[in-house]
Homo-oligomer: A and B are copies of this chain.
Amino acid sequence: MRPSGRKLDQMRDVSVEVGFTKHAEGSALIKMGDTHVLCTATIEPRVPSFIKGSGLGWVTAEYGMLPRATNTRMRREAASGKQGGRTVEIQRLIGRALRAGVDRVALGERQITIDCDVLQADGGTRCASITGGWIALRLAVNKLMKAGDVISDPMLDPVAAVSCGIYAGQPLLDLDYPEDSEAGVDGNFIMTESGQMIETQMSAEGSTYSRAQMNELLDLAEKGIAELTAVQRAACA
């Protein structure tokens, strides 16, 4: 049924290569099928001015796509002089999601920046960024703990994200680009390992949806998140 030949509730193959780059405090190349995102974590001893002196830490994210990560070349954002609306929306989402998975008191007054750069895109780049970004964050925090800079582990439950959508009337898990571009309803679900929700975003794209349909997608998402958090645990072990 699916263009990809996958079953309705079947994820793409997921793989993670930790330590893909050597300079960052944490780094991971996550591949969800043909979507490949390089995630790095940078620790800095300063926080944004609005929490200076509060004792709280901060986690933020930036997102980018290489110009030819996609099927036709996109203009380089550095050349066009600003980040587009889609980029801004996505990086704010990644930052919020990862921040929700951290005890900011335990982290202490330092900032961790997660850079998510899409080397190749085939749908679901924001979800891959969150899932891979959590791994880079975990690795960087491990380094802080090993060095004794942080005593109590600030990382709460693993946080992962997956997209679901309604395609040709059917609920699908983990849409790739051909599926995503034809889906009538499109959702991104960010959850913890234990199934608690952090962010839910569902959009009608050409048709509305009912609460029953929303629940079907949530069921799929829970299945996907369980598989992704297992991958996260394995990659950081």
The reply on A146 being an interface residue by CB < 8 A is: no
Partner of A87, one of B34, B78, B113, B120: B78
Expressed in whole angstroms, the minimum distance between the Cβ of A83 and any Cβ of chain B is 5
Within the assembled complex, what's the spacing in Å between the Cα atoms of A184 and B236?
Answer: 30
Q: Is the interface of A mostly helix, strand, loop or mixed?
A: mixed
The answer to whether B67 touches A115 (Cβ under 8 A) is yes
A56-94 to B contact mask, C-beta < 8 Å, 1/0: 000000101011111101001111011101011101100
Q: Which A182-237 residues have C-beta < 8 A from chain B?
A: 187, 192, 196-204, 206, 208-211, 214, 218
Expressed in whole angstroms, the minimum distance between the Cβ of A162 and any Cβ of chain B is 15
Chain B binder among A1-9, A17-25, A126-134, A167-175: A17-25
User: On chain A, which size bracket covers the interface?
Assistant: 35 or more
The answer to whether B100 touches A208 (Cβ under 8 A) is yes
The reply on A15 being an interface residue by CB < 8 A is: no
Chain A interfacial positions (CB closer than 8 Å to B): 20-24, 27, 34, 36, 38, 40, 42, 44, 62, 64, 66-71, 73, 76-79, 81-83, 85, 87-89, 91-92, 96, 100, 113, 115, 117, 119-121, 187, 192, 196-204, 206, 208-211, 214, 218
